[in-house]
Amino acid sequence: MTSWIEIPAASPFPANNLPYGIVSKDGGRRHVAVAIGDQVLSLAATANTGLLDDALRDEFGVVDRAIFDAPSLNPFLVKGFDVWHAVRVRLLELVADGSYEPALRSALVARSDVTVHLPVEVADYVDFYSFEEHAGNVGRLFRPNQPPLLPNWHRLPVGYHGRAGTIVVSGTDIVRPSGQRLVDGEPEYGPSLRLDIEAEVGFVVGTPSPQGSSVSTVDFERTVFGAVLVNDWSARDIQAFEYVPLGPFLGKSFATSISPWVVPLEALAAARVPAPAQDPVPADYLLPAGNAYDLSLAVDWNGSTVSRPPFAGMYWTAAQQLAHLTVNGASVRTGDLYASGTVSGPRPGGSGCFLELTWGGAEPVTLDDGSERVFLADGDTITITGTAPGADGTTIGFGEVTGTILPARG
Ligand SMILES: O=C(O)/C=C/C(=O)CC(=O)CC(=O)O
Ligand SMILES: [Ca+2]
Ligand SMILES: [Mg+2]
């Protein structure tokens, strides 16, 4: 697909991606934009031209241009699938057809000139555990005397409720957490000595569901707006001491980073692939399973690529995760985020966390500068990138989620 906007060949943001984010320029108002090439197209400015009016008209005939003059995507997300779809179709036209250039040229800003912000006001946050390789490896490392997978794992997508308020946008520094962990077998309070990452993909809920009802797998694409990259920073020593029997708590809640650009599910249509076979056959409420997505992730540690976790192998689909999350009547709200679980394949090259990559710290990795690591050192920077196949041989990029570790506060 061609555009009157210049797009470098290797850009993660070709004209058929158009991921949504929140930007500001020179300390000005935060507003909605889509990324395209090296630029962003302000949707606040685009809406003001009137060129989005038809797409924004809702079932009551109301056109609310102000949903793009907002500090989060939530006012747009709550409009629902028909508006998301109409706006996307219209934007694809506007960036393709050169006759719109005079009206829209001034709505374009260089991406390097804007600040990106957390794109979504995150309502609730859930983290799943849906990669068999990861769950098996964590079981082997944390519970060596038990079967790696508990009997529930192949019956339902295991997950836990995380902390929505500590989700931060890519680029935010991460202060090393402190907590109680075992040192020579004795609990001791202090900075985490085993600070880790988890490379994941997050799904952003747009359409809310009423409490007391559930969302079936076939309603996934009308409920979930899009996807982001997630780094679920994890303090393994704090986690290992605290997690029994109620699961992850302070070992993970200090920070979770997400990429700034929410890729709409509609941009990922060409990345849909059949989900892996499931044995035993899942409960009825988890069927039909829906599809997997063929995303490619890469984890860079201070600029050295240390793994490429394969996303297509996720055992439970995102549609099944949503169905499970709501099967008890729990509602979802606009802005809810649920993450896939650590993306992992055969180690070491497929590992989505350093617990697996270094086998619990036993097998150091050597970075390109010759230094060795098992867990994160202060000053280390982790960058996770992701791409998906797009239509007609294009590549849909997620951009990146990056963060640098600061020393623990005294
Ligand atoms: O098995 C455990 O006790 C802990 C598991 C995790 O650390 C996993 C978690 O955060 C879920 C995931 O990302 O897959
Ligand atoms: Ca996680
Ligand atoms: Mg975390």
Encoded tokens for 236: 């393994």
Task: With respect to residue 240, please indicate whether it lies within any of the assigned structural domains.
Answer: yes
For residues 190 and 220, membership in a common domain is answered with yes
What's the CATH number where 42 sits? Answer: 2.30.30.230
Q: How many residues are listed for the chain in this entry? A: 410
Query: Which residues place a Cβ less than 5 A from the ion ligand 3?
Result: 232-233, 252, 256
149 has a pLDDT exceeding 80: yes
> CB neighbours (10 Å) of residue 269?
17
111 has a pLDDT exceeding 90: yes
Q: Strand, coil or helix: what is 105? A: helix
Q: Which atom of ligand 1 is nearest to the CA of 247?
A: 3
Instruction: Give the largest Cα separation in the chain, rounded.
Output: 70
For residues 87 and 140, membership in a common domain is answered with no
| C-alpha–C-alpha distance, residues 133 and 111, integer Å | 37
Q: At which residue do the structure tokens 């809640």 appear?
A: 253
CA of 45 relative to ligand 1 center, distance in Å: 42
CA of 267 relative to ligand 2 center, distance in Å: 25
372-396 pLDDT, tens digit each: 999 999 999 999 999 999 999 999 9
For residues 131 and 107, membership in a common domain is answered with no
Give, for ligand 1, the residue of 132, 158, 198 to mutate: max count of ligand atoms closer than 8 Å to Cβ.
Answer: 198
How open is the CA angle 71-167-164, to the nearest 5 degrees? 95
For residues 137 and 103, membership in a common domain is answered with no
The band of 1, judged by pLDDT with boundaries at 50, 70 and 90, is confident
Residues within 6 Å of ligand 1 by CB = 127, 129, 134, 138, 142, 198, 200, 232, 234, 243, 248, 252, 341-342
For residues 323 and 183, membership in a common domain is answered with yes
**Structural domains of the chain, count:** 2
224-250 pLDDT, tens digit each: 999 999 999 999 999 999 999 999 999
Task: With respect to residue 178, please indicate whether it lies within any of the assigned structural domains.
Answer: yes
**End position of a domain, from candidates 55, 85, 115:** 115
**End position of a domain, from candidates 71, 90, 115:** 115
Q: Are 222 and 345 in contact (CB under 8 A)?
A: no
With a threshold of 0.95, does the pTM exceed it?
A: yes
CA of 355 relative to ligand 1 center, distance in Å: 11
What pLDDT shows up at residue 316?
A: 98
Give, for ligand 1, the residue of 134, 252, 257, 354 to mutate: max count of ligand atoms closer than 8 Å to Cβ.
Answer: 134
b/e burial code for range 113-134 (CB count within 10 A of at least 16 → b):
ebebbbbbbbbbbbbbbbbbbb
Task: With respect to residue 406, please indicate whether it lies within any of the assigned structural domains.
Answer: no
State how far the alpha carbon of 38 is from the alpha carbons of 92, 109, 113, 240, in Å. 17, 9, 10, 43
For residues 80 and 158, membership in a common domain is answered with no
For residues 202 and 78, membership in a common domain is answered with no
Q: Strand, coil or helix: what is 53? A: helix
Q: Strand, coil or helix: what is 310? A: strand
What's the CATH number where 365 sits? Answer: 3.90.850.10
| C-alpha–C-alpha distance, residues 47 and 50, integer Å | 5
The band of 59, judged by pLDDT with boundaries at 50, 70 and 90, is confident
Task: With respect to residue 402, please indicate whether it lies within any of the assigned structural domains.
Answer: no
* Interacting residues of 284 by C-beta distance below 8 A, sequence separation 6+: none
For residues 44 and 150, membership in a common domain is answered with no
Domain coverage including residue 43:
20-115
**End position of a domain, from candidates 47, 82, 115:** 115
For residues 315 and 340, membership in a common domain is answered with yes
Nearest 5°: phi and psi at 269? -60, -40
For residues 190 and 96, membership in a common domain is answered with no
Task: With respect to residue 4, please indicate whether it lies within any of the assigned structural domains.
Answer: no
191-215 pLDDT, tens digit each: 999 999 999 999 999 999 999 999 9
- Give the mean model confidence (pLDDT) for residues 263-273: 98
Residues known to be catalytic = 134
CB burial of residue 240 (10 Å; 0-12, 13-18, 19+): middle
Q: At which residue do the structure tokens 């920077």 appear?
A: 381
